[in-house]
Homo-oligomer: A and B are copies of this chain.
Amino acid sequence: MPDLPLLDEVLAGRRRALARLITLIESSRPDHRTQAEAMLDQLSPHTGGAIRVGISGVPGVGKSSFIESIGLYLIEQGHKVAVLAVDPSSRRTGGSILGDKTRMEHLARNEGAFIRPSPSGGTLGGVARRTAESILAVEAAGYDVVIIETVGVGQSETAVADMSDVFLLLLQPGAGDDLQGIKKGIVELADLIVVNKADGDLANAATRAVADYRAALHLLRPASKHWSPPVLAASAATGMGLPEVWQKIGAYAETMKREGLWQTRREEQAVGRLWAEVTDALVSDLKAAPKVGAELPGLLGDVRSGRLSPTGAARRLIAAFRG
């Protein structure tokens, strides 16, 4: 049964109620899961109204201070800003919550912001699903900008891109080899590239980096019919460039909506998550079958050594599963 008073409080934008709902969403207790799903179904007419901005960048690029600065800027402009995260490596402890709040201290204290650290532990798929549901919860609570942060390692970028309307990649200024920390394929996911720390001693390096990236993107990326990812410089420290970043995000949203691609992307994301969850459930069932558990290590060894074809091994696993 959905908790109706809690729902009303979420819809009224009470942060404490929102935090409780997200705790239910993140719980692994089956009764909590059932309750969370029932509540999300009730809330669904009130979801979808935010712009969902995924933000990625390698550690050290200044992601936290960038999110804090643009978050405060957006609140000044009258927005309500929620910050979520996808970090499959995180362990929820008193310390890490505190860490999350202190690293965005001013934003965390602001009434217009809601900051939630990553759901803890588990598989990337599980963490991502819970964050995707939390997006719906914060939207129902009236937040109209949702920033979803990724740790910039592993597969978490793809997961975050799959739940964002627009995916922003933060880069460091610096010449040539200094720029190489970026993971394979991440540049290709970006709808917008921002060279952060464009201030002080690094201002010139940032300007050069912007030019280099523009040239490289021009060569390497297919010209989308509708959007070429812009490269901008910004500084979380001085606030320089933040209005331009937000303006580009707005231009992206406008273009996608005009072309009918905004809603399409969301629909594809939702259908993709449906199949990912169905597949996860089916494969979990298979792996949990005692006969599969008994055969799997031997079959994997045979496939690795080439003694058995993947097709043959798959057939045996399915046979073991069906009993």
Contact = CB atoms under 8 A, between A and B. Distances in A.
Interface of A: 37, 40-41, 44, 47-48, 129, 132-133, 136, 176-177, 179-185, 187-188, 212-213, 215-216, 218-223, 266-267, 270-271, 273-279, 281-283, 286, 299-300, 303-304, 306-315, 317-318
A224 to B, nearest CB: 9
A315 B273 CA distance: 12
Given A40-B312, A48-B306, A271-B303, 12 more contacts: A37-B309, A40-B311, A41-B312, A136-B309, A177-B223, A180-B219, A216-B219, A216-B220, A267-B304, A270-B304, A274-B300, A278-B314
Contacts of A273: 310-311
Nearest to A224: B184
B219 A176 contact: yes
A283 B279 contact: yes
A129 B250 CA distance: 43
Contact of A270 (B47, B177, B274, B310): B310
A219 B223 contact: no
Contacts of A309: 37, 40-41, 44, 133, 136
Contacts of A275: 283
Given A184-B221, A222-B182, A304-B271, A311 B213 contact: no
A182 to B, nearest CB: 6
Nearest to A228: B180
B270 A44 contact: no
A222 B183 contact: yes
Contacts of A176: 218-219
Contact of A188 (B188, B222, B277, B318): B188
B277 A279 contact: no
A206 to B, nearest CB: 14
A183 B40 CA distance: 37
Contacts of A307: 44
A213 B219 CA distance: 8
5 contacts: A37-B311, A176-B219, A216-B219, A274-B313, A278-B318
